[in-house]
Amino acid sequence: MKVDLKMWFRQPKLLIMSIAPLLIISVFAGFFLAKVEILPVAIVMEDNDPAAVRLKDYLMKLESGSGVTWFHAEEDGNAAAQKKFENGEVLGLITIPSNLSGKLNSGEAVEIPISINNINDDVTKNFIQRMQYAFNCFNEGLVCGSTVYHIPRVNFIADTSPDLPMLKYICASILGLAMLLGASLATVFSVAREFEDSTIKELVMTPKLINILGGKLLSAIVQSIIAAVFILLEEWAVFGYLPKNLFMQLLYFFWGVLFSVGLAAVIASKMKRTLTAGILIMVINIGSWWVSGGLAPSEAWTGLLRIIADYWPGTYFYQVYINASLLGNVSGDLIARNMIITGIFGAAMLLAAYAVFVKEVREV
């Protein structure tokens, strides 16, 4: 254990390989992925009809569940708005026709023309849905003459309020990844290095190989604690994120380590090269993080990806870890089920790791 730790601290390359991928994902996902787009639009009012003013106000003031304004809306004259739209300065052009109140009072369904620079379908979807929401707000309780018209409304009940920014979700999931990837990489470096440097021949002399593997596991725990704490501090300093119930993080950390190190040891013993085994472990861990709900909860998916997520044990670690870190707690049934699934996988992998390690050492 001491030898491995000394080696890790003395070799900045190993430190960089452990921390750099996590840092890259954290910074990039945090800065660039975790944003809800505010759509720039131009609103043209053909007159100052009270209904038109009310609609304009809805469009300008609508907010997301986390308090982000849906549109960056500007009121413009027709020519100026058209020019902005053609130059690509605004994504949408909304023209509120004149005499809206009059038309509504006469019982008409009035079409509001919107032109959309549909640069891609995601922008179009966001634009249209936000408009539909605004129109629902407008249509609800619409008074025309002496009649009030209602539409079905939704009472949204969220498990936390306001909706948590995506940034927090991504920070939590990356911290989970830091635990798993940090432990896996540390195991890979310490096991594969013995084969690479041929020091494994000296280890063969040890009466109990399980002690060697145990020492390497302890060293991996120390290294991954350092990596995880580093990422936690980075997320706190850069994004202001701190998980709820910090004490529980230690428990989740040990859970993650026991779950992930077995597979890493199997790969390291088989491949015997730090670079290739390290890259394979990175690919597996980052791919698994994504499949298991690293960027969005897996229960919000359907199709093949959902099936893969359901069968991949990593999902059950991330599911508890992310939700508990963000919400403070999760259901006891969920923890019990997920601990059993990941525990069985982790134990099986540790047994496999010992068997493969012993076999490979003896062959050397």
Partner 1 sequence: MMVQILAEIKKSIKYWKKHKMIALVSIFPPLLICLLFVGVFKTTGIVNVVVVNNDIEQQADSWTEKFLDVMETRTGTIPYFTLVSKDEATAGHMFDMHQTFAILYIPEGFGKSIEDGNPLSVSVKFTAAHEDISKNVRLGIEARIYDFVKLYGLDTNARPGITIERNLQNEALPRSGYMMAGILIWTMVFFGLLIGGALGANEKEGGTQTYIKMASKGELSALIGKWAAAVIISGVMLIILTLCYMLFFGVKFPNAASVLYLLIMFFALTFIFSLPGVLYGMKAGDFRLVPAPMIILSITLWLVSGALNPLEFSAGYAFFKYLPTSSGIRIMSYALFNRGEQFVQESFTILLSWIAAVFVLFFIGIYLNQSKHKKLSLHRNQQSIRTRSAD
Of the pair 202, 299, the CB lying nearest partner 1 is at 299
Compare residues 99 and 136 and give the one whose CB is closer to partner 1: 136
- Cβ closer to partner 1: 305 or 355? 305
Phi, psi of 63 (to 5 degrees): -130, 155
Alpha-carbon dihedral sign for residues 311, 314, 315, 316: positive
CB 261 to partner 1: min, Å: 22
Shortest Å distance, C-beta 238 to partner 1: 15
Distance CA 184, CA 263 (A): 8
CB atoms within 10 A of CB 231: 23
The CB-of-201 to partner 1 minimum distance in angstroms stands at: 24
Tell me the closest approach of the beta carbon of residue 233 to partner 1, in angstroms: 19
Written as six digits, the tokens of 226 are: 């350092």
Nearer to partner 1, 138 or 345 (CB): 138
Q: What are phi and psi of 198, to 5 degrees?
A: 60, 15
The 10 Å Cβ neighbour count of residue 283 is 10
Q: How far is the CB of 72 from partner 1 (least distance, A)?
A: 10
Q: What is the DSSP string of 190-207?
A: HHHHHHHTTTHHHHTTSS
**Per-residue CA distances from 21 to 113, 153, 193, 279, 303 (Å):** 47, 45, 20, 10, 29
Q: Toward partner 1, which CB reaches closer, 131 or 361? A: 131
Residue 99's contacts (CB-CB under 8 Å, 6 or more residues apart) are 47, 49
Kindly state the smallest distance separating residue 126's Cβ from partner 1, in Å. Answer: 8
* Amino acid present at 307: I
Closer CB to partner 1, residue 90 or residue 200?
Answer: 90
